[in-house]
Amino acid sequence: MATAEGVAVVDTATRTRLTRIPYETRTGPVTTGEYRGGGMGIALAPDGRTAYVTEGFIRDGYGNGITVVDLTGRKRPFEVVAGARPLGIAIL
């Protein structure tokens, strides 16, 4: 699930959080505040191994975008610039 601080990897069978993959910006971790960057939407690939998260920032500082998250490796391999405040995402 997308949270204000990162992507929470959850075991849906036991309803427990396994870990959190934190959001990061060029200046470090996401800070607090109403307009801070962070997750706004999330979609899972059909195989459950990859999540696509819309965020209010991209780690390298180039704006808002979509981050691809490898849930098995618990890594963020890349981001894609998506325009102003992407709120949701769906995989069809």
As for how many domains the chain has, the answer is 1
Q: What is the mean pLDDT of the chain?
A: 75
Residue 60 has pLDDT above 60, yes or no: no
Residue 79: the pLDDT is 76
Task: State the pTM of this model.
Answer: 0.70
pLDDT band, residue 41 (cuts 50/70/90): confident
Task: Say if 1 falls within a structural domain.
Answer: no
Please name which of 69, 62, 71, 70 lies closest in space to residue 82, comparing C-alpha atoms: 62
Residue 40 has pLDDT above 70, yes or no: yes
91 domain residue, yes or no? no
Range of the domain at 56: 6-81
pLDDT 10s digits, 15-38 = 998 888 877 665 555 555 555 566
Tally Cβ neighbours within 10 Å of residue 2: 21
